[in-house]
Amino acid sequence: MAVKAQDETNFLDLSGGRIISMVMKETQSDWIVLPYKGIIPVACENITGAPETLTRPVLVVNNKGVAYDESSLSIVYDGATAKTRPDKDYYVQTTSGEIILVGSDSGSDAATGTITIKARACLGTTASATGLADESVLYLLGSLYLGSAVLGPVRLIYVPLPEDPGVSLY
């Protein structure tokens, strides 16, 4: 069976801002795109009770032309997996730690495209060109790969990142 996106169900943990989610994993490396701009995973377990292996999908910067800097507002990418992100309003994080709010993504259904940036230096991070060199990786903060070989129900507890990119979280 081919790897594909899976739909999850969510409900609010009434004790605070944590979300408890469950997804049915059909194939190793299925992914989920969560309904927030970004998340912080707190815990994740598969049906055996063992920790599920989580990794974030990526966009690979394709900077073969003019170099991107700390004020660039569009970035060409390749090396992505189609449908691992929404087509607008999501956070990515560079290897230098900057969190960027993507306003639109021309290739969300493909492996290549261009992201148009709505805000740089989000959530109290610092704008930097360091993580934007050719072949640098941008981590998608609202999506997760489920990497263990165990199939079946996966339970995930996470905290959504603030919707307002101006919040000084970091």
Please determine, for residue 46, whether its predicted confidence score (pLDDT) is greater than 70.
yes
Q: Looking at the structure, do residues 47 and 71 belong to the same domain, yes or no?
A: no
pLDDT beyond 60 at 12 = no
Query: Which residues constitute the domain of residue 83?
Result: 58-141
The residues with which 11 forms a beta bridge, in sequence order, are 20
Q: Is the distance from CB of 54 to CB of 147 less than 8 angstroms?
A: yes
Domain contains 102:
yes
What does the pLDDT look like over 137-148, one tens digit per residue?
A: 999 999 999 999
**Tokens matching residue 41:** 């995973």
Pairwise pLDDT comparison (5 vs 125), residue with the higher score = 125
Q: What is the CA radius of gyration of the chain?
A: 16
Question: Are 77 and 44 contacting, i.e. CB atoms less than 8 angstroms apart?
Answer: no
Band the pLDDT of 119: cuts 50, 70, 90: very high
Cβ atoms within 10 Å, residue 125: 19
Q: What are the b/e assignments for 57-81, b being 16+ CB within 10 Å?
A: bbbbbbbeeeebeeebeebbbeebb
Q: Could you tell me if residue 2 is inside a domain?
A: no
CA distances in angstroms from 111 to 9, 79, 87, 99, listed in the order given: 26, 6, 13, 21
Assess whether 85 and 127 both reside in one domain.
yes
The pTM assigned to this predicted structure is 0.90
Digit-coded pLDDT (tens) for 77-117 = 999 999 999 999 999 999 999 999 999 999 999 999 999 99
Specify the number of domains making up the chain: 2
30 SS3 class? strand
